[in-house]
Amino acid sequence: MKFALKMVAVSAAAILLTAGCSSPSGTTTGDSTGGSANYNLTLLPKNLGNPYFDTSNKGAAEAAGEFSGKITFTGPAEGAADSQVSFINTATQQKVGAVMIASNDQTAVCDALNEAMAAGVKVVTFDSDAPTCRDIFINQATADGIAKVLVEMIVDQVDNEGQIAILSATANATNQNAWIESMKKDLAANHPGIELVEVVYGDDQDQMSFDKTAALLATYPELKGIVAPTTVGIAAAARYVSTSEYKGKVAVTGLGTPNDMRAYVTDGTVTEFALWNPADLGYLATYAAKALIDGTITGAEGDKFEAGKLGSYTVGADKTVLLGDPYKFNKGNIGDFDF
């Protein structure tokens, strides 16, 4: 319940911010008057137009507002491998204090991020890491923790047997690929009755994810469930299934936002799905950027910093800070959340 109350509080703050100073793309917030420190921060999502990252932006804007920082929310229209590079280069040329990035492809962005750091820009990855070319990674939950919840949900929803498929984001997404690897191990070790027939990619695009869902269902008539570890994918899959003959027969689960998924939980298409709070993720990434700029932390294991209303955080192994555990949403609790 503590989590629920926190989420309601966050969304109330987010609504206030939306009214004042934040919109889905290319926006700036605050006036960056934080003394001599450079609190001009670029927030670079995988792609624009994804409500998940819009929500992270609201959290980032809230945090920046608390220390007179300025967030510029900018990024590519589509999550292609190298589509973030020019945005990183622009931020470097603008001499921002920090870039906070959910990287589409760790290899494609690495050179640009290393150049940014060489020019004095702090680099914070969040959501999807680029492990060898950043100061710190703000991890929403451990890969094994996320995979465990995904497996628990699908196994439960298909009674631990039969064919399932995965509808992912892009084929090179660092975060989804780590979660899928861990899911495969868990399935192989603990759920011999489950057959994972295919992993398909909707590229975090609504229409492509919708079409890939249709194709999966046509190709595998025995399919009992689809796991989509992407907020775009699960919403598209649920929309397809909700008006099809498969509603109530094929389980749809994965990672989604309560606002995207509410209608499908209400109409019985989806029983349960999970996520963390993307606003908290953006908020924490912003305070980590501030701590790096202030020199309070360098990213070394054991470094501590304050993150406003979220409290105190300690940097763990591999220069990583952990937000917390994923959370399951269902008919019984979805009404408590608004993001």
CB 79 within 8 A of CB 104: yes
Which residues neighbour 256 within 8 Å (Cβ) at sequence distance 6 or greater?
228, 231, 234, 235, 238, 270, 273, 274, 275, 329
Is there binding between residue 212 and ligand RAM (CB under 6 A)?
no
Q: Is 245 exposed, middle or buried (0-12, 13-18, 19+ CB in 10 A)?
A: exposed
User: Nearest distance from residue 56's CB to ligand RAM, in Å?
Assistant: 9
User: Nearest distance from residue 202's CB to ligand RAM, in Å?
Assistant: 10
Comparing CA positions, the residue from 144, 88, 143 lying closest to residue 118 is: 88
Of 19-27, 224-232, 298-306, 329-337, the window that binds ligand RAM (rule: CB under 6 A) is 224-232
Is there binding between residue 46 and ligand RAM (CB under 6 A)?
yes
How far apart, in Å, are the Cα atoms of 46 and each of 2, 103, 135?
A: 30, 6, 19
Q: Which of 85, 101, 102, 113 binds ligand RAM (CB under 6 A)?
A: 102
Q: Chain-centre distance of CA 137, in angstroms?
A: 13
Of 187-195, 226-234, 238-246, 284-292, the window that binds ligand RAM (rule: CB under 6 A) is 226-234
Identity of residue 337: F
Is there binding between residue 204 and ligand RAM (CB under 6 A)?
yes
User: Nearest distance from residue 254's CB to ligand RAM, in Å?
Assistant: 8
Q: Which is nearer to ligand RAM, 10 or 234 (CB)?
A: 234
Q: How many residues bind ligand RAM (CB under 6 A)?
A: 13
Q: Which is nearer to ligand RAM, 67 or 337 (CB)?
A: 337
Is there binding between residue 174 and ligand RAM (CB under 6 A)?
no
Among left, alpha and beta (phi > 0; psi -120 to 50; other), residue 49 is left
The tokens of 128 are what? 């999807």
Which residues neighbour 120 within 8 Å (Cβ) at sequence distance 6 or greater?
95
Question: Segment 229-268, which members bind ligand RAM (CB under 6 A)?
Answer: 230-232, 255
Is there binding between residue 126 and ligand RAM (CB under 6 A)?
no
- Contacts with ligand RAM by CB under 6 A lie at 46, 50, 52, 102, 127-128, 169, 175, 204, 230-232, 255
